[in-house]
């Protein structure tokens, strides 16, 4: 059996626990994701054991449905930092054939469970996030033929209280389709796009688990 490298990428809380953004593991092929995690990753980073059941696993920027998926040499296991202009998003979807434009704007609120929130900090698996957001746009256009255009923006880095972290705009011939498509897009984004949020409080901080993602995606290690 050949021994080569598999690169594993870590994000958000897993990055903090491991103390690194990526790590190369020696592996003899063939090897499955499950075997890699159990015999290499957890051996090197045992502190991940409690977090793993709530983790989503991706290979080459695509979520996996089974931990028995075989890996290959060179595989990797695994969008703007500026303020988002809502006006620009609306302009991007404007169309003379549209009778409605629906927007969703997600902003940083100043409290959570009685705690004062100072800011939110977002990080992402950026190349995969872009692909997933493009897929969402394709789903919208396929599901609602009357939709003219759709745009999805997500800000990364620090987002102060009152500023937008995500903006979605959908134009359609009819308002019902625009509203439904916009709601679908934000729900799909929350469930599938690899973006993590840290809430920074007046007295500490915490990575927030995405409940939509936990309920929607496969849990091969649960």
> Annotated binding residue at 155?
no
Known binding residue 72? Answer is: no
Per DSSP bridges, beta strands 76-77 and 3-9 are parallel
Neighbours of 3 (CB within 10 A): 9
User: Residue 198 annotated as binding?
Assistant: yes
34 in a labelled binding site: no
The C-alpha atoms of residue 82 and residue 33 are separated, in whole angstroms, by: 36
Ligand-binding site membership of 13 (annotated): no
Furthest CA-CA distance within the chain = 62
The answer to whether 154 is a known ligand-binding residue is no
**3-class SS letters over 64-119:** CCCCCCEECCCCEECCECCCCCHHHHHHHHCCCCCCEEEEEEEECCCEECCEEEEE
Residues in binding site: 174-175, 190, 197-199
Residues in binding site for substrate: 174-175, 190, 197-199
């Amino acid at each position: 059996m050949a021994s080569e490298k598999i690169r594993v990428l870590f994000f958000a809380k897993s990055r903090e626990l491991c103390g690194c953004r990526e790590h190369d593991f020696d592996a003899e092929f063939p090897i499955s994701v499950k075997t890699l995690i159990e015999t290499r990753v957890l051996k090197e980073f045992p502190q991940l054991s409690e977090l793993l059941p709530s983790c989503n696993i991706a290979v080459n920027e695509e979520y996996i449905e089974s931990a028995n998926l075989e890996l290959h040499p060179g595989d990797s296991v695994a969008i703007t930092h500026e303020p988002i202009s809502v006006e620009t998003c609306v302009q991007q979807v404007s169309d003379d054939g549209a009778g409605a434009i629906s927007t969703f704007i997600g902003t940083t609120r100043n409290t959570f469970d009685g705690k004062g929130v100072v800011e939110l900090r977002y990080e992402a698996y950026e190349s995969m996030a872009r692909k997933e957001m493009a897929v969402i746009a394709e789903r919208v256009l396929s599901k609602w033929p009357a939709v003219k255009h759709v745009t999805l923006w997500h800000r990364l880095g620090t987002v102060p209280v009152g500023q937008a972290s995500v903006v979605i705009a959908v134009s359609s011939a009819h308002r019902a389709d625009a509203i439904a498509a916009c709601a679908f897009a934000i729900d799909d984004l929350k469930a599938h796009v690899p973006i993590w949020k840290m809430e920074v409080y007046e007295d500490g901080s915490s990575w927030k688990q995405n409940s939509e993602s936990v309920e929607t995606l496969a849990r091969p290690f649960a």
